[in-house]
Amino acid sequence: MTRIDKLLKSRQIKSQLWSDREATEDVFKNLGKTEPSPRIVHLATHGFFFPDPHAEIHSHRLGIQEPVFKLSEHPMIRSGLVLAGGNYAWKTGKSPQPDGEDGILTAYEISQMNLSNTELVVLSACETGLGDIEGNEGVYGLQRAFKIAGARYLIMSLWQVPDRETSVFMTRFYEHWLEERRPIPEAFQQTQQEMRRRFPNPYQWAGFILME
C-alpha cells in the first residue's frame, strides 16, 4: 500500500493512506458523505464470503458458535471486508469501541454508500469476487455492493493471490493506467499479459478480475 501511495503522489494525485488501527469502518463509511467520493479506492485487507447456510449443515446446531454474518439469510450480509477492530468483533460478537462500528464492513453497508464519483475500486483481498446467485439478479456480494454504491470499475480477486505477485500486479496496473494514461480495461489487460510472461503459474496472478 505504501508503494501505491507513493506512486499516486508522484503523479500529482492526492492520496490519503489509512493503515492498521487508522483503517476503521467509520473512516470508510465517511467516504462520499460530505464531499464527492475519491476517484480511486484501494483496499488491502481480508475479504469474506459465506455460502447459503441452508445449503450445508448448520454448525450452530452442533453447539459451535458462529459469527452472525455466516448465518444470515441475506447474501450481502454474508459478504464483506474486515477492517480495524474486526478480528475482535468476529470472535466476540462485540464492537471494540462501545460507541463505534465493529470493523466488519458488510456488502449491504457498502451498498448504502455514495461512491458515484469513484472511477475504480481495487479490492486486494482474498475471495472478494465471490457471491450467491439470486434468480435473475446476478451475483450478490462485494462486487454488487460497490456497483450499487456507484463505483464504475472494480478489480477483485477470486482467491488469495500471493503478496509478491499482488504487489507486482498492482504496481504495473497503476503505471499503465496513470503514467501511460491507458483506459482501465486496456491497462488491466496489458498487466495480465506481462504477468503471464513473468509468472507462468496462473495461480500466482490470474485470481484478479476486472468488472465494469
3-state secondary structure at position 177: helix
pLDDT in tens, the chain (212 residues): 677 777 788 777 788 888 878 888 889 999 999 999 999 999 888 888 877 766 554 444 544 456 666 667 777 888 888 888 777 767 776 777 767 777 888 999 999 999 999 999 998 766 666 666 555 455 568 888 999 999 999 998 888 888 899 889 999 999 999 989 999 999 999 999 999 999 999 999 999 999 98
Please say whether the beta carbons of 108 and 74 come within 8 A: yes
Q: Which of 28, 198, 56 is nearest to 121 (CA)?
A: 28
Q: How many domains does the chain have?
A: 1
Q: How far apart are CA 85 and CA 100, in angstroms?
A: 10
**Spatial separation of the C-alpha atoms in residues 185 and 187, rounded to whole Å:** 6
Give the per-residue pLDDT at 79: 85
What is the reported pTM?
Answer: 0.82
What is residue 145's predicted lDDT score, i.e. its pLDDT? 92
- List the one residue out of 17, 19, 24 whose CA is nearest residue 85: 24
Other Cβ atoms less than 10 A from the Cβ of 206: the count is: 18
C-alpha to C-alpha distance for 182 and 151, rounded to whole angstroms: 19
The residue to which cell 483481498 is assigned: 125
Coil vs helix vs strand at 205: coil
Domain limits at 188? 2-211
